[in-house]
Amino acid sequence: METQKVKTCFTIVFTDDQYDHAKSYVQDMKSHPKRVFWQGKEGKNEEELVVEQIAHRILSGFYNNDALQAAKHIIRMDSMTTA
């Protein structure tokens, strides 16, 4: 199987509760500097880490119990075949 790379940009929406939960998660991760969470996150500020955590949870399905729920969070996706 050949591996392909696609660059995709998502436009998402999230609630204040989701933001607060992600912010708490990032704060907790600060006390665990050797966790996998930190791989590839060097140089990112706190706001970037929080929004990235929200996007990860949305795209991983944590907030998507059904297709209609997913559509409430992911409102746009743009992709290109060369990354």
What tokens appear for 43 in the block?
């140089």
Answer yes or no: is 40 within a domain: no
Q: Residues with Cβ < 8 Å from 49, sequence gap 6 or more?
A: 26, 41
Per-residue model confidence as pLDDT tens digits over 33-79: 888 888 888 899 999 999 999 988 887 777 666 666 666 777 777 77
- Contact status, residue 77 vs residue 11, Cβ threshold 8 Å: yes
Range of the domain at 17: 7-32+45-80
Answer yes or no: is 53 within a domain: yes
- What is the domain count for the chain? 1
In order, the DSSP letters of 43-82 are T--HHHHHHHHHHHHHHHTTT-SSHHHHHHHEEEEEEES-
Model confidence, pTM: 0.72
Answer yes or no: is 67 within a domain: yes
